[in-house]
Amino acid sequence: MTTAVLKYKSQSVAKLYFIAALALFAAQILFGVTLGLQYLIGDLLFPYIPFNQARMVHTNLLIVWLLFGFMGSAYYIVPEEAETELHSPKLAIALFWIFLVAGALTIVGYLAVPYAKLAELTGNDLLMTMGREFLEQPLPTKLGIVVVALAFLYNITLTILKGRKTSISLVLLIGLWGLAVMFLFSFVNPHNLVRDKMYWWFVVHLWVEGVWELILGALLAFVLVKTTGVDREVIDKWLYVIIAFSLMTGILGTGHHFYFIGTPGYWQWIGSIFSALEPIPFFMMTVFAFNMVQRRRREHPNQAAVLWAVGTSVMGFLGAGLWGFIHTLSPVNYYTHGTQITAAHGHLAFYGAYVLVVITMISYAMPTLRGRLSAPKTAQSYEMWSFWIMTIGMSVMVLALTGAGILQVWLQRLPETGAMGFMATQDQLAFFYWLRLAGGVGFLIGLIIYLSSFFVGSNEPDVAEVGSAGNGASARAVPAKRA
């Protein structure tokens, strides 16, 4: 085993964040499978973990573990890009424990206390922020998130300011600041329902279809710089064009949430036009990833990380781009909004764009954080199997939900007279829900294989880098070296 491969000692704080992210990811999937069963067995685990609580925990865990993944990625990337140690590693470790304890207490609160009682106990009557999907967190948790985010940004920003500035670190920094600023709208909860929905979408939409895309682009660009050896200038140009399109389409694309909530009719045009353009940056990201891999000047020993990176670009385009486009035009959205087609889009978009990019970073960084130049060959083999099994599992889920959504629209939304009621329609979707459950179990198996990859091959030597690729150069084994 090779030791001392981290360029900067303070990068090691990322390991804590990645471990927490993976543990919470596993918990999220367990709750997801439970939800899949509850669609078919309505009183499963009732009254201990009813459907509404399980769903809230499932979605909140998703957000929290991705935030842990983003923060861990930033702590790993920024020192290397800035070519200096982190401003305060101790602060980073303290924030980790504060965030983890606050998150754990929130989840325990969801499960142990009725939601209305939890709101009463946590001061929601002082500033009403609870009760909105994805933003169910009690007031103390929201305040804690703000404090942790500001301290985290202070640490990251000062590190970048005192060191080298690169396009990757700057785009990442803008994305992280945007994430924090947009979250402030979660404290705005007006009585006017239309305004309430608008502010809610400022958080939810402008996170996942706005500033998070900047974080996604920065993480992907970093891994591709390291694993392909392509000139940084080339990757920088791609990154700038992609984030420009992401912001241009994503910000005005918020309009596709304003179609039927009481806003002026012109939002149907604005939302339709700019939402239809939103797949473009994701398609560019796919072209970008394949182009960089094709032009690679080295065969990095961590081929599992390359697979996760390319998979991110493809699945992100399919989930956030193609499946979003399917129901984004206002005349179509009129019938599909809130159906299982929306659930299909949400699952594939989150998996393709954000779950995979965090795993890409973990796959690239973890070997060095564990004192190796690359993951052992057996571990990489496990990772690659887990990628395909999780991706196939997610694909089965998404196709099942899409089929369920189409039938739901046919039975419940399209008929002008005699439309089937919501619950009666749900009974007709059982076949698709069984398929979705099978896909979810497959996804869980893939995740277990991925997690087990960290415990195999520890006695194997590092995978050797193969000599320069492309340009007809012959491949030859050379000692592994730090990217």
Amino acid sitting at position 161: L
Q: What is the mean pLDDT of residues 303-312?
A: 96
Which range (373-377, 438-442, 450-454) has the least confidence? 373-377
Distance CA 298, CA 470 (A): 8
Q: What is the mean pLDDT of residues 123-137?
A: 92
Distance CA 355, CA 348 (A): 10
Buried b (16+ CB within 10 A) or exposed e, 86-108: bbbbeebeebbeebbebbeebbe
Distance CA 50, CA 248 (A): 41
Tens digit of each residue's pLDDT (9 = 90 or more) over 228-247: 999 899 999 999 999 999 99
Q: Is the pLDDT of residue 463 over 80?
A: no
- φ/ψ of 2, rounded to 5, equals -90, 145
466: which strand partners?
Answer: 299, 477
**Quick check: bond before 47 cis, omega within 30?**
yes
Alpha-carbon Rg for the chain, nearest whole angstrom, is 22
% pLDDT > 70, the chain = 95
Q: Which two tokens stand for residue 473?
A: 């150069």
At residue 299, the pLDDT reads 85
Q: Which two tokens stand for residue 124?
A: 């929601």
Residue pointed to by tokens 């200038």: 233
Angle of helix 89-112 versus helix 51-82 axis, rounded to 10: 170
Spatial contact of 50 and 66, defined as CB atoms under 8 Å apart: no
> Residue 188 class from Cβ within 10 Å (0-12 exposed, 13-18 middle, 19+ buried)?
middle
Three-state DSSP state, 332: helix
> Residue 55 class from Cβ within 10 Å (0-12 exposed, 13-18 middle, 19+ buried)?
middle
Nearest alpha carbon to residue 303 among 230, 379, 222, 389: 379
At residue 298, the pLDDT reads 79
Q: Is the pLDDT of residue 1 over 90?
A: no
Model confidence, pTM: 0.93
User: What's the mean per-residue pLDDT of the chain?
Assistant: 93
Residue 472 Cα to chain centre, angstroms:
38
Q: Could you tell me which residues come within 8 angstroms of residue 124 by beta carbon, excluding any fewer than 6 positions away? A: 130, 138, 139
